Structure 1
Amino acid sequence: MGMPDAEGQGPPDGLPGLPPEWGRVVVPDDASALAHEARQVRRELRRQHRRTGWRRRLGLVPGPDGRPPLGLPILALLVSVLITLTGLAAVTWPRSTRSGGSPTVVPYPTASLAVIGPLPALDLVDTGNSPVSLRSLLPAMIVLIDACACPERVTEAAAAAPAGVTVVTVTEGRKAETSPVPGVRALADPAGGLRAYVHLAPHPGTATALLVDREGTLVRVVPELGPVGAYRDDLVKLAA
């Protein structure tokens, strides 16, 4: 069994001086008694070596001249990029609808009369390719049929129009075709001025109607021309 020094504390003979705060140090005669402590020390040294190796690989160890490690700002930048990408993915990732996957229906846009303003002085062309001033036909119900001829709707409008109100069909192109509906004036709008005027793109299967009084004021826009009962009152007012 190990022996302390002569005073009962401190290192035995042959060992260098140890700090007094260590207290009494006993050195065993058999080194195998320290095997457990030795394993703990080796385990801690290996753990510290692995930690230091990873920090060195990631650039987190200060340089030999005391400069701060370069890996810290790079690591912070990578974390910021990952957070940003995660946020973008959460916003843009498609979500399944709870209504059985039914698509969202966007209503057909309607035009605001305050934005459109009065009817401009447009010159269209008739079936004989002759210019026709649109204002000369006022008051009028102007039906844009470039997306749908809709003869049944045009026929209903012509039958409901009061005396003095002209029903005009307008299609895009260089020349208008004769209207199959009696009493309806057919014109063509080669420059697409009317579509640009109402700010409405053609919608397949529907016709758009403009109700304009004799002063050129746009009374109503019907984006999808339907049954005449939906606009009959405004149509009658055009003749006033």
Structure 2
Amino acid sequence: MKALIMKKHFQHLAAAATLGLAGLYAQAAPIVIDVSGAQSINLLGESGNTVWLIDIGAGSVLNSLSWDVTLSAPAPSLLSELQLSFGSSSGLDLITWAPAASDGFSGTGAYAGSLDLAPLGLAVGGDGLLRLEFSEAFKDLAMGMAEGQWLGGQLSFDVAAAPVPEPAGAVLLLLGLGFVAARLRRSGRDEVVTKSKTEVPAHQAELDAGAGLRSGLARVA
């Protein structure tokens, strides 16, 4: 009975330790990027565009994007054609977004908003690099001529770092579980020893009774 109670107690502690380890995982943190000076010159993937690689931590997941930026597009280029593509450094899983998608005219404009990226499960690779490329959706001017300017403002990515428990906290939790497991095993052994000392098998009791009867008969004879 005591061993059963100890076992249940151990299971509760193990569950609590699992939650504790989960709580040690890195929490979401914002990555703020100043876009001043970025320019889009050609189509996505072509040379000349502004490309930035930003270290946000290996395996980090992008949860959301918010922005507050000012853009400029000289005629005949349009504000709606300025776009930003972001994702892992491989460039194979990029998401392309245009902050001024509804403004089909030239000039300057300020834009703010946010995107929920969590459903996409977008994460960077093992190198931890987030790739940003500023490009044009349509090429209006001659090759090599800038068509869009990111005059100022910021992008803010809400990032969840890859789950890595803090060494000290993990060690303490594991040591605690080891101690409880040892106590549980010792308690089980003590219970078995006590039981073996106190309980007498039925056949042994019968043998003892027969030996006593024979001894009594011998004395009478």
| TM-score of the two chains, using structure 2 as the length reference | 0.23
Q: Which has the higher strand share?
A: 2
Higher relative contact order (CA 8 A, sep 6+): 2
TM-score by length of 1: 0.22
Rg bigger for which structure?
1
